[in-house]
Amino acid sequence: MPEQQTTPASFPRRFEGRSVLVTGAGTGFGAEIAVRAAQEGARVVVHYNRSREGAEQTAKRIEQTGSQAALVQADITSWDAIRAMADAAFAAFGGLDVAVNNVGDVARDQMSWRDITEESIDHVLAVDIKGTLLCTQEFGSRMLDAGGGCIINIGSTVVVRGSARAPQYAAAKYGILGITKSYAQAFAPTVRVNTFAPGFIETQATLNRQD
């Protein structure tokens, strides 16, 4: 499908002069969040773990809007890697106004609760719970020191409807609510922390999944 170009002038410039980091911005939903932030005026830090090529493509799309992009790599199951990512993100544009914690493992290849494995449970919880918690901890504490900021943790509507396909994913996303509420209290009123819970999103990865 040919890429559709939309002129930045057609978008509100709500992020003019702001810097935004999006984790998992090399592909899928994260890439679209990053590009939309740029279309609204933000300078964007594009995080990736293994999708370097995808992150470079996202950065190119950001630059096509007339904005600036910076790449950071990190495995968000590692606190040391998250600290290094936070250092790079805050240094990229002289501070960070918004952090979108988008990375999450949905156990995409698991098509039934019958296929659940201990390895999958451990990995989903490490990425979705531990990773989101540590990113919120690191970005939020630095935003507090800087005098303000906003953190958005990407949840899911599975917290309402559950997931017969992957219970570990529903459990992890439910845990993000606890993380968000806890840090919203801890960081208030200087740093806002919220959860955004979208429904099913059609991405290339979900389209490629075996039904």
Q: In a structure prediction context, what are the per-residue pLDDT tens digits for the chain, which is 211 residues long? A: 445 444 445 888 999 999 999 999 999 999 999 999 999 999 999 999 998 999 999 999 999 999 999 999 999 999 999 999 999 999 999 999 999 999 988 887 889 999 999 999 999 999 999 999 999 999 999 999 999 999 999 999 888 888 999 999 999 999 999 999 999 999 999 999 999 987 655 554 444 444 4
Q: Is 169 a catalytic residue?
A: yes
N-to-C CA span, the chain = 23
Distance, CA of 40 to CA of 12 (rounded, Å): 6
What residues contact residue 108 under an 8 Å CB cut-off, 6+ apart?
205, 206, 209
Task: Kindly report the pTM of this predicted structure.
Answer: 0.87
13-200 CATH: 3.40.50.720
CA distances from 27 to 11, 48, 135 (A): 22, 9, 19
DSSP label at residue 93? T
